[in-house]
Homo-oligomer: A and B are copies of this chain.
Amino acid sequence: MYRSNTCGELRISDVGKKVTLAGWVQRSRKLGGMTFIDLRDRYGITQLVVEADADAALVETATALGREFVIQATGTVVERASKNSKIDTGDIEIRLEAINILNKSLTPPFTIEEQSDGGEDIRAKYRYLDLRRAPLKRALELRHRIAHEVRNFLDSKGFLEIETPYLIKSTPEGARDFVVPSRMNPGQFYALPQSPQTFKQLLMVAGYDRYFQIVRCFRDEDLRADRQPEFTQIDCEMSFVEQEDVLNLFEDMMRTLFKNVLDVNIANPIPRMSWYDAMDRYGSDKPDIRFGMEIHEITSLVQGHGFGVFDSVPYVGAIAVPGAAAYTRKQTDELTEWVKRPQVGAKGLVYIKLNEDGSTKSSVDKFYSEDELRKIAAGVEANTGDLILVLCGEKRKAQTQLGVLRVEMGGRLGLRDPKVFAPLWIVDFPLLEWSEEDGRFYAMHHPFTAPKPEHLDWFYSDKKEDLERVCANAYDFVLNGNELGGGSIRIHEAAVQERMFQVLGIGKEEAEYKFGFIINAFKFGAPPHGGLAFGFDRTCALFGGQETIRDYIAFPKNNQGRDVMIDAPSKIDDVQMDELFLASTVNEENA
């Protein structure tokens, strides 16, 4: 062992001990003939001192140390004259007797500090240096801790972690698969799993009634910001359970995680909200309930007053932004431009100010009397000093736009504190989504999601409006405006599954081709079952108080799906292509 102690553990009680530390030179400075070295490892920073009157060779070595040199240093723990209360080892320092340079270092291309001076690209290229920074170290330590707590919790509840294969079969629906050509089976491909969904359901058929896995998943999507082509899921499934059992168990898991990892007590019970309520009140199926500012429908209050924009739409809704009545014309104009951006997509924005002096001011003053504006304000539950923001249009679309605006205003008002954790369950999702474009229903979750037993009459109805109101036994776990997880009770009865395929317009042959082996497996005694999966990367990020996942993944890819550190993907040689019976169709100009 190269060290007797880490750089994070020595305290005032260790004074007098002879110790050997090993680590990286964070910084080194001369002060009145003495050399001070901050030595860093995973556990902390310890100050080393070479006295002015120390051995000349030692002084010389200490003086020549560069940033990020790896050294082994031996000396005696002494009490510091000027203590540093910012670090755990700040009461002591090591008076050195020997320094052994284990490895030199080139000067790193950016500073290895809490805040680095390096840009994102250079830090990605030298990820192994960026990972030395304390924020990333804390992120990966947090990730380890959460994974460990998840496993301990689920193990204590009788769950088995069972590894499912990564080389599976390409599935013809859902997002794009990454595929893997098989050399031993020419012309054939494996696919990398988008999730272990099929396998976990097979494990239920096989009788493993409590399964989980912290597992990598792969999706070949055009990457939006903060998406990764490979990501990690906490994947779970249970048999002989109803929705209530699943919700209770994973609510318990989340509560345990928050308590054990962050020492935070989250709501007990975690609130539940129907999908319909979430859309109506928050304009989102993943509402951020850290703050109110709920959406109110005011259609009946505003129509019939001669304002054509409102009269010509099916829905008018509004939020009351607390204390924002003092917004200037410039500010409301800016907000109007903001909601008209394609990311939001509103046609315009109407505002009503409930001024502190009791007066009102609105962008539609000429259509509504002071009294009518007050009635609208009452409908939005607005108070004096609030700014009411109104959007209109098709109901769900306008609600969604109001939802985006609400979150933006919450952010501007500082109501989205990352240290506050407001989880909730979204339940009662619609089972089906009608596509106007394709003139058919699609499964909102996936075709194996069970309809609510009390909605089976509608499910077997031929009327579109009946089918549209069938709810699924599906649920999402939402935290601070992020969907952290979701799942459903699955269909386990052949007749219900057949009806589902019928509703989705999937014929017998097509069903057999696409889902044949799982349908077949279900003929041999499938138990009632259900489960869910949590996005592990985002869970870690939110626990860490961050919105972006990249720092919580040791070696992430960029928005083009590239690992710029190792420069992957890359070309492979012709021999390899030949062995795989593949030819590239890339033109030189595309490549």
Residues on A facing B (Cβ under 8 Å) = 1-3, 22-24, 40-42, 68-70, 72, 102-106, 108, 126-129, 131-132, 137, 140-141, 143-144, 147-148, 151, 155, 160-170, 172, 176-192, 198-199, 202-203, 205-210, 216, 218, 220, 222-223, 229-230, 232, 240-242, 245, 492-493, 517, 521, 523-528, 553-555, 557, 560-563, 565-573, 576, 578-586, 590-591
A sample of 30 inter-chain contacts (CB < 8 A) reads A2-B241, A24-B207, A24-B525, A41-B209, A68-B524, A69-B525, A102-B528, A103-B493, A103-B526, A137-B207, A140-B208, A143-B163, A144-B161, A166-B166, A166-B216, A167-B218, A167-B229, A168-B563, A168-B566, A169-B563, A169-B566, A169-B567, A179-B572, A184-B220, A189-B569, A199-B554, A199-B555, A517-B566, A582-B584, A583-B583
- With A561-B184, A582-B582, A584-B582 in contact, do A570 and B129 touch (Cβ < 8 Å)? no
Measured between C-beta atoms, what is the minimum distance from A558 to chain B in Å? 11
Contact check, A182 vs B586: say whether CB atoms are below 8 A apart.
no
Q: Which residues of B have CB within 8 Å of A141?
A: 160
Q: Which residues of B have CB within 8 Å of A103?
A: 492-493, 525-528
Contact check, B203 vs A554: say whether CB atoms are below 8 A apart.
yes
Measured between C-beta atoms, what is the minimum distance from A591 to chain B in Å? 5
| Nearest 6 CB-CB pairings of A with B | A105-B525, A131-B206, A169-B568, A187-B586, A188-B569, A2-B240
Measured between C-beta atoms, what is the minimum distance from A163 to chain B in Å? 6
Contact check, A22 vs B240: say whether CB atoms are below 8 A apart.
yes
Q: Which residues of B have CB within 8 Å of A147?
A: 161
How far is it, in angstroms, between the C-alpha of A24 and the C-alpha of B528 when the chains are bound?
A: 12
Q: Which residues of B have CB within 8 Å of A241?
A: 1-2
Q: Which residues of B have CB within 8 Å of A2?
A: 240-242, 528
Complex: chain B residue closest to A588, CB-CB: B187
Contact check, B526 vs A70: say whether CB atoms are below 8 A apart.
yes
Q: Which residues of B have CB within 8 Å of A525?
A: 24, 68-70, 103-105
Q: Which residues of B have CB within 8 Å of A132?
A: 206-207
Measured between C-beta atoms, what is the minimum distance from A396 to chain B in Å? 32
Q: Which residues of B have CB within 8 Å of A240?
A: 1-3, 22, 72
- With A129-B524, A160-B141, A207-B137 in contact, do A582 and B583 touch (Cβ < 8 Å)? yes
Measured between C-beta atoms, what is the minimum distance from A191 to chain B in Å? 7
Complex: chain B residue closest to A571, CB-CB: B188
Q: Which residues of B have CB within 8 Å of A563?
A: 165, 167-169
Specify which of A141, A167, A579 lies most central, judged by the most chain B CB atoms within 10 Å of its CB.
A167
Partner of A105, one of B127, B128, B524: B524
Contact check, A581 vs B571: say whether CB atoms are below 8 A apart.
no
Decide if the interface of chain A is mainly helix, strand, loop or mixed. Answer: loop
Contact check, B527 vs A22: say whether CB atoms are below 8 A apart.
yes
Complex: chain B residue closest to A205, CB-CB: B128
Q: Which residues of B have CB within 8 Å of A207?
A: 23-24, 40-42, 131-132, 137
Q: Which residues of B have CB within 8 Å of A583?
A: 582-585
Q: Which residues of B have CB within 8 Å of A560?
A: 184-185
Measured between C-beta atoms, what is the minimum distance from A44 to chain B in Å? 11
How far is it, in angstroms, between the C-alpha of A582 and the C-alpha of B23 when the chains are bound?
A: 48
Contact check, B555 vs A187: say whether CB atoms are below 8 A apart.
no
Measured between C-beta atoms, what is the minimum distance from A182 to chain B in Å? 4
- With A132-B207, A583-B583, A584-B582 in contact, do A523 and B186 touch (Cβ < 8 Å)? no
Q: Which residues of B have CB within 8 Å of A183?
A: 176, 220
Contact check, A108 vs B524: say whether CB atoms are below 8 A apart.
yes
How far is it, in angstroms, between the C-alpha of A258 and the C-alpha of B344 when the chains are bound?
A: 59
Partner of A185, one of B41, B104, B167, B569: B569
Contact check, B566 vs A242: say whether CB atoms are below 8 A apart.
no
Q: Which residues of B have CB within 8 Å of A164?
A: 554-555
Q: Which residues of B have CB within 8 Å of A177?
A: 576
A-B contacts besides A163-B554, A169-B567, 16 pairs, CB < 8 Å: A1-B245, A24-B525, A102-B527, A104-B525, A140-B162, A144-B155, A162-B554, A165-B230, A165-B557, A165-B563, A169-B569, A176-B579, A180-B192, A182-B569, A581-B590, A582-B585
- With A170-B572, A199-B555, A582-B582 in contact, do A590 and B148 touch (Cβ < 8 Å)? no
Complex: chain B residue closest to A591, CB-CB: B187
Q: Which residues of B have CB within 8 Å of A570?
A: 169-170, 188-189
How far is it, in angstroms, between the C-alpha of A521 and the C-alpha of B127 when the chains are bound?
A: 10
Q: Which residues of B have CB within 8 Å of A493?
A: 103
Complex: chain B residue closest to A198, CB-CB: B566
Contact check, B128 vs A190: say whether CB atoms are below 8 A apart.
no
How far is it, in angstroms, between the C-alpha of A570 and the C-alpha of B187 when the chains are bound?
A: 8
How far is it, in angstroms, between the C-alpha of A143 and the C-alpha of B560 when the chains are bound?
A: 37
Complex: chain B residue closest to A215, CB-CB: B216
Contact check, B524 vs A190: say whether CB atoms are below 8 A apart.
no
How far is it, in angstroms, between the C-alpha of A358 and the C-alpha of B106 when the chains are bound?
A: 75
Contact check, B553 vs A163: say whether CB atoms are below 8 A apart.
yes
How far is it, in angstroms, between the C-alpha of A105 and the C-alpha of B148 when the chains are bound?
A: 38
Measured between C-beta atoms, what is the minimum distance from A299 to chain B in Å? 43
